[in-house]
C-alpha cells in the first residue's frame, strides 16, 4: 500500500521542478513510511511513497520496463499477479522482480489500455508510456483506492492518492465548488467525480483516463460496472454453498503478505464471516482487533469476543471513551474535504490499534451494499410496493399533503415516523431513496444556505447524483436499483474513503474480501429474495454461515459502527459546538444563514429535535474551512461569480 503523485505538462515538455515534486511526494509520507522514489523527465514528474508488503527487497517505485520507456507508480495490490506473471512469461516477457507492480508494466506492454480488465485487486496507478507520449491513469472497479487529479493554473496536471498532494502545489486553486457544497450537506461526503474544490476531481471507480500533451483533457472512460445479470436458476442450498466458496477464495488470496496480517472484528456479520474464513485458512491464530464503546447502545464488544473465542484468535480490544474529541480537527486534515461520517473516529482508533500488531488487516466492508444489509433497504422495499399501487400524481397530492400536516417525530423509530413515510411515498423511487439517505433534506438545506450560495447552485440539486446513476443502472428490480446507487455513491464516497484515510494515517493496509470484483459481480446476480427476505437482510449469507457462527450473532439487530452523537452534542461537546458554528470563519464565509444555525443548536440542545447529523456536518465543515481552506477562497461572492 502506497501513495502516488505526479505532475504532467499539458502544454509541452517543461522541466518539472525537483523540489516541487518532492513536496508533493512528501505530503503523502504517512501512506508509505518505508521508502520514497521520484522520476523526472521533460514534461513529467512521478513520485511514490512505499509501504512494503510484497517483494520487500525489490519492489521500489517508480518502476520501469526493460528499456525505461514505460514507468509506473502504483498504489494497491493485484491478487492474481502470479497467474498474470506466468501468462506474460508465456508471451516472452522477462521479469526483474517478483512484484505485482512490474506485472502491470508488462500487462500494459502486452494489452495496452485493456490491461485493467486483467487485474484482480485494489489499485490506483499512473503509467507513463514515452513512446506513445501517453499518461494513463486507472482506478479499481469498486473504488477501494483513491485517485485525484486536476488542471492547475500553470498549465500542468497534478494527480495524487489524496487531495493533499494537489494542495501542496502552489498552482492548485482552492476555490470551492458550490455543487460539491450542496452534495456534502445532502450526503455527508462529496460523491465522485467531484471534489470540494472546483479544479480537482476524483477518477471514478472502474474508470481510466488517457492524457496526451497538447490535447484537451478527455473525459474518463469506464471499463467496468456492476453487472446485475441474473444467474441461471439454482437451489437455495447450492447458492449458499457457492457464496461461501467464493468468499473463502476471496479471503484466501488476500492473505498473501510478507508482513504481519490480521483482521478487524466488529462483532457484525461481515467481519465475523471474514475472520471465520481466515481461521479456516491459517495454520496460526488470527490477530483480531475491535473497538468498544462505553454506551451499551453502541457496544458490540461481546459479539466480537464471542467470535474471537470460537476461533481462538489473538484478540485485542480498546474502548473509545465519550470524551475522545481530539480527533475532530485531525479528521479535517486526514480527509482534506469535509467528511461527516462520525464513525471515522472509531475507525481511526481501530486502525491505530491494529497497526501496533499488524501491517495488513482484512475487513468486512462491502457486504451491506451487495447483500442488502442496511435497514433502509427493507424500508425502501416496503415503500416501493405502496408506490407501485398508486400513480405518482395521486401519491404526490395525497401523501405530500399528509407529510406537510403530520408532526415531525425525530425521537421515534423510523417505522413510526409517519411524516417521513408520507414524504417518501409522495416521491418517485430515486427521490424517495435520496430523501431516506440525506443528512439534510431539501427544505433544511434551502434554509441553511445563504442567498448567494443558493444562486450559485443555479437550480442544481444533490439528488441529481443519484438520478445520473439510476439512468445508467443495469438493475431491474427496486432492491437491486438502490443497491446499485449505493455501490456507485455511498460505498466509494463514504465507506471506502473513511477506511482508506484512517488506515493510511497509520500506514496500515486494509483489504476487503467482500469487495472482490468477481464476488461482487456474482452477488449482484442473486435473486432479490435471497438478499432480503421477511425483513432480514443478507438472508443467503446468514443461512450459509449458520454452521460457522451462532444465530445470536447472525440474527441480532444491526447496530452499525457509530458513536452517540446526539448525547455528545448536548453534553461534552455542547459549548465547543456553539463556539465553532458561530465562529468568524463560519460567519464570514458567506455560505450560511447564521440565524438558522443558531436555531439548530438551540433546538438540539433543548432536546426538542435531534439535529445531531446536521450539526456534526456543520462542525466538520467548519474544521475543514479553518484548517484546509484560506478564508478568502471560501467566500460566497467568489462562489457566485466564478
For the chain, the first-to-last Cα distance in angstroms comes to: 38
| Cβ-Cβ contacts under 8 Å for 428 (sequence gap 6 or more) | 387, 392
d(CA 80, CA 310): 31
d(CA 548, CA 570): 42
Q: Read off φ and ψ for residue 30, nearest 5 degrees.
A: -65, -25
Cβ atoms of 163 and 337 within 8 Å: the answer is yes
From the list 2, 115, 289, 589, the catalytic residue is 2
Q: How many CB atoms lie within 10 A of CB 94?
A: 8
Does the CA dihedral 631-634-637-641 come out positive or negative? positive
User: Cell digits for 283?
Assistant: 495454520
- Smallest Cα–Cα separation from 225: which of 469, 514, 16? 469
- Smallest Cα–Cα separation from 2: which of 210, 150, 211, 162? 162
User: Cell digits for 373?
Assistant: 444489509
Residue 532's SS3 state is: strand
H or E stretch including 26? helix 18-26
Q: At what angle do helices 344-355 and 327-335 cross, to 10 degrees?
A: 90
d(CA 553, CA 538): 13
d(CA 267, CA 510): 18
| DSSP3 helix / strand / coil % (the chain, rounded to 5) | 50, 15, 35
Does the CA dihedral 191-197-203-209 come out positive or negative? positive
Cis peptide before 62 (omega within 30 of 0): yes
| Cβ-Cβ contacts under 8 Å for 601 (sequence gap 6 or more) | 577, 578, 581, 582, 611, 615
Residues listed for the chain = 642
2 is catalytic: yes
Residue 75's SS3 state is: strand
Cα 406 to chain centroid, rounded: 36
Q: Read off φ and ψ for residue 478, nearest 5 degrees.
A: -60, -40
Q: How many CB atoms lie within 10 A of CB 614?
A: 22
Q: Cell 471513551 sits at which residue?
A: 321
Cβ atoms of 360 and 511 within 8 Å: the answer is yes
Taking CA atoms, 566 is separated from 370, 390, 573, 603, in Å, by 30, 37, 10, 12
Strand order in the sheet with 314-320: 314-320, 287-293, 261-264, 360-362, 509-511
Beta bridge partners of 291: 318
| Cβ-Cβ contacts under 8 Å for 169 (sequence gap 6 or more) | 7, 20, 23, 24, 152, 158
| Residues with catalytic roles | 2
Amino acid at each position: 500500500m502506497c501513495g502516488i503523485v505526479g505532475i504532467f505538462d499539458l502544454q509541452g515538455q517543461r522541466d518539472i521542478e525537483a523540489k516541487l515534486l518532492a513536496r508533493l511526494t512528501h505530503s503523502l509520507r504517512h501512506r508509505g513510511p518505508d521508502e520514497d522514489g521520484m522520476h523526472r523527465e521533460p514534461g513529467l514528474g512521478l513520485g511514490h511513497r512505499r509501504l512494503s508488503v510484497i517483494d520487500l527487497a525489490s519492489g521500489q517505485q517508480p518502476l520501469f520496463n526493460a528499456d525505461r520507456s514505460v514507468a509506473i507508480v502504483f498504489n494497491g495490490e493485484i491478487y492474481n499477479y502470479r497467474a498474470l506473471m506466468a501468462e506474460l512469461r508465456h508471451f516472452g516477457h522477462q521479469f526483474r522482480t517478483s512484484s505485482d507492480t512490474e506485472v502491470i508494466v508488462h500487462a500494459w506492454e502486452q494489452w495496452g489500455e485493456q490491461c485493467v480488465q486483467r487485474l484482480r485487486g485494489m489499485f490506483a496507478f499512473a503509467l507513463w508510456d514515452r513512446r506513445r507520449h501517453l499518461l494513463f491513469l486507472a482506478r479499481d472497479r469498486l473504488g477501494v483506492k483513491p485517485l485525484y487529479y486536476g488542471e492547475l493554473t500553470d498549465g500542468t496536471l497534478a494527480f495524487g492518492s489524496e487531495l493533499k498532494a494537489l494542495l501542496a502545489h502552489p498552482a492548485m486553486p482552492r476555490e470551492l465548488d458550490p455543487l460539491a457544497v450542496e452534495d456534502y450537506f445532502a450526503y455527508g461526503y462529496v460523491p465522485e467525480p467531484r471534489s470540494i474544490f472546483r479544479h480537482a476531481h476524483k477518477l471514478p471507480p472502474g474508470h481510466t483516463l488517457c492524457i496526451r500533451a497538447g490535447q484537451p483533457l478527455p473525459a474518463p472512460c469506464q471499463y467496468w460496472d456492476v453487472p446485475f445479470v441474473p444467474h441461471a436458476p439454482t437451489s437455495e442450498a447450492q447458492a449458499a454453498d457457492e457464496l461461501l466458496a467464493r468468499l473463502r477464495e476471496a479471503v484466501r488470496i488476500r492473505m498473501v503478505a510478507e508482513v504481519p496480517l490480521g483482521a478487524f472484528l466488529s462483532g457484525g456479520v461481515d467481519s465475523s464471516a471474514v475472520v471465520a474464513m481466515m481461521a479456516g485458512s491459517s495454520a496460526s491464530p488470527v490477530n483480531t482487533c475491535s473497538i468498544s464503546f462505553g454506551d451499551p447502545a453502541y457496544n458490540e464488544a461481546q459479539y466480537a469476543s464471542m467470535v474471537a473465542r470460537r476461533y481462538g484468535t489473538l484478540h485485542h480490544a480498546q474502548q473509545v471513551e465519550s470524551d475522545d474529541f481530539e480527533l475532530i480537527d485531525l479528521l479535517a486534515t486526514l480527509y482534506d474535504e469535509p467528511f461527516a461520517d462520525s464513525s471515522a473516529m472509531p475507525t481511526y482508533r481501530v486502525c491505530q490499534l491494529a497497526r501496533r500488531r499488524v501491517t495488513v488487516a482484512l475487513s468486512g466492508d462491502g457486504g451491506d451494499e451487495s447483500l442488502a444489509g442496511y435497514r433502509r433497504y427493507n424500508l425502501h422495499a416496503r415503500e416501493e410496493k405502496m408506490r407501485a399501487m398508486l400513480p405518482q400524481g395521486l401519491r404526490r397530492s395525497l401523501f405530500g399533503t399528509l407529510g406537510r400536516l403530520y408532526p415531525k417525530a425525530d425521537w421515534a423509530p423510523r417505522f413510526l415516523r409517519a411524516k417521513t413515510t408520507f414524504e417518501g411515498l409522495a416521491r418517485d423511487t430515486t427521490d424517495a431513496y435520496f430523501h431516506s439517505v440525506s443528512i439534510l433534506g431539501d427544505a433544511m438545506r434551502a434554509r441553511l444556505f445563504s442567498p448567494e450560495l443558493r444562486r450559485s447552485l443555479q437550480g442544481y440539486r444533490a439528488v441529481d447524483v443519484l438520478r445520473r446513476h439510476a439512468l445508467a443502472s443495469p438493475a431491474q428490480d427496486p432492491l437491486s436499483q438502490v443497491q446499485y446507487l449505493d455501490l456507485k455513491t455511498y460505498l466509494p464516497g463514504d465507506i471506502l474513503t473513511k477506511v482508506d484515510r484512517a488506515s493510511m494515517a497509520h500506514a496500515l493496509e486494509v483489504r476487503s474480501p467482500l469487495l472482490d470484483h468477481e464476488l461482487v459481480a456474482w452477488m449482484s446476480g442473486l435473486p432479490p429474495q435471497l438478499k432480503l427476505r421477511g425483513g432480514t437482510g443478507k438472508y443467503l449469507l446468514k443461512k450459509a454461515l449458520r454452521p460457522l457462527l451462532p444465530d445470536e450473532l447472525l440474527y441480532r439487530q444491526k447496530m452499525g459502527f457509530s458513536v452517540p452523537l446526539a448525547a455528545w452534542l448536548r453534553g461534552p461537546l455542547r459549548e465547543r459546538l456553539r463556539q465553532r458554528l458561530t465562529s468568524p470563519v463560519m460567519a464570514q464565509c458567506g455560505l450560511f444563514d447564521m440565524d438558522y444555525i443558531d436555531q439548530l443548536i438551540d433546538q438540539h440542545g433543548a432536546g426538542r429535535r435531534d439535529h445531531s447529523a446536521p450539526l456534526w456536518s456543520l462542525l466538520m465543515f467548519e474544521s475543514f474551512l479553518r484548517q484546509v481552506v484560506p478564508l478568502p477562497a471560501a467566500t460566497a461572492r467568489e462562489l457566485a461569480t466564478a
